[in-house]
Amino acid sequence: EVADQLGLSSYTEPLMATADYVAPTSDENVTVTDTEFSEVPVRLYLPRKGSDGLRRAVVYFHGGGWSLGHAGMKSYDHLNRWTANRLNAVVVSVSYRLAPKYHFPVQFEDVYSVTKFFLQSSVLSQYEVDPDRVCVAGDSAGGNLAAALLKDPEVKPKLKAQALLYPALQTLDLNLPSYQENENRFFLPKWLMVKFWSQYFTSDSSLRKAMASNTHVPVESSHLLQFVNWSNLLPEEMKKDHVYASSTYGSSELARKYPGFLDPRAAPLLASDAQLRGLPLTYILTCEYDVLRDDGVMYAQRLRVVGVPVTHDHAKDTFHGAMAFVLDPAALAVGQRLMNRYIEWLNENL
């Protein structure tokens, strides 16, 4: 963080250098290859076992604050290999371009291009995929990208389901109860999430500073706050002793320079009820010890209100990113339990 502040290196560089990458390796159950869809790198998992008919498919977007991660990271390779084998499904895991080199909407455009390419009838036919049984899924920033895709009228009717694992869904209120309670929590403290959010839109530190103090929303965008008003959207047990306070409005200039943080493609909770209505079956996983907990809880509530079928699993005993730690013996039991639940939901609903 000090090196980042001094401009010596990006905060993400050492984290990417230590990421546990694995080469595409096939086994007796799944054929794994690295390729490109619409000029975007993807890792493709094709089950070897036979099928009585067309297969299901999952298009998966990894997490990492839009700045970290790769389809070839060991934890994602494990998850998607396991998904393909357990469901006898085709899995497309996407390596979209990352910040700080690339800013919004590049990451969104990459996953959008891959999804549209895969949903072509000729491509689905090539991989023997049922066009009525395709799901988009992702964790954290990847959950954000999966949810954002479903706002597009070209994509929405073609997908049967979305699965969002501890997703980041809103940019307006970075002082939610979950942000306050987990400000210094292991793995994703508030300062790091603020950095990820701001860096998604710009390398200009002025936006990060405004987001850190929750003074980045201009008064002319105050109408959007209704979509993230936790006093109306959170259950009583999550409000606890927190008191909802009106926002302190910020610079209109920041919003003009970096309008992405007010765009529903970056913050899916900012979509109107009309845009949310008609979304497909949805699975949302939230974790108690997570600054992003309330994003997922509020999204589940908003979807229910407009009639979208939602399954919301809240893990009270774990933290953000728990599924990525399934290969760590200390976190294996919890991570495996969450992964099993995710796979069970896909098996029942896809």
Is 77 a residue of the active site? no
Angle in degrees, CA 104, 94, 51, rounded to 5: 145
Find out whether 310 and 339 touch, Cβ atoms under 8 Å: no
Instruction: Record the tokens describing residue 10, joined without a space.
Output: 């990006």
Is 290 a residue of the active site? yes
Find out whether 308 and 276 touch, Cβ atoms under 8 Å: yes
- Chain-centre distance of CA 316, in angstroms? 20
- Chain-centre distance of CA 153, in angstroms? 20
Give me the catalytic one of 77, 110, 139, 290: 290
Angle (deg, nearest 10), helices 141-149 and 106-118 = 60
- Which DSSP letter does residue 183 get? T
For 346, counting Cβ atoms within 10 Å of its Cβ (0-12 exposed, 13-18 middle, 19+ buried), the class is buried
- Which DSSP letter does residue 262 get? G
Find out whether 138 and 323 touch, Cβ atoms under 8 Å: no
The Cα–Cα gap between 61 and 137 comes to: 6
Give me the catalytic one of 75, 140, 198, 221: 140
Angle (deg, nearest 10), helices 205-212 and 190-201 = 140
Is 320 a residue of the active site? yes
Find out whether 82 and 37 touch, Cβ atoms under 8 Å: no
Beta-strand ranges (E) seen in the chain are 30-37, 40-47, 55-61, 90-94, 129-139, 161-165, 281-289, 310-319
- Residues annotated catalytic, as ranges: 140, 290, 320
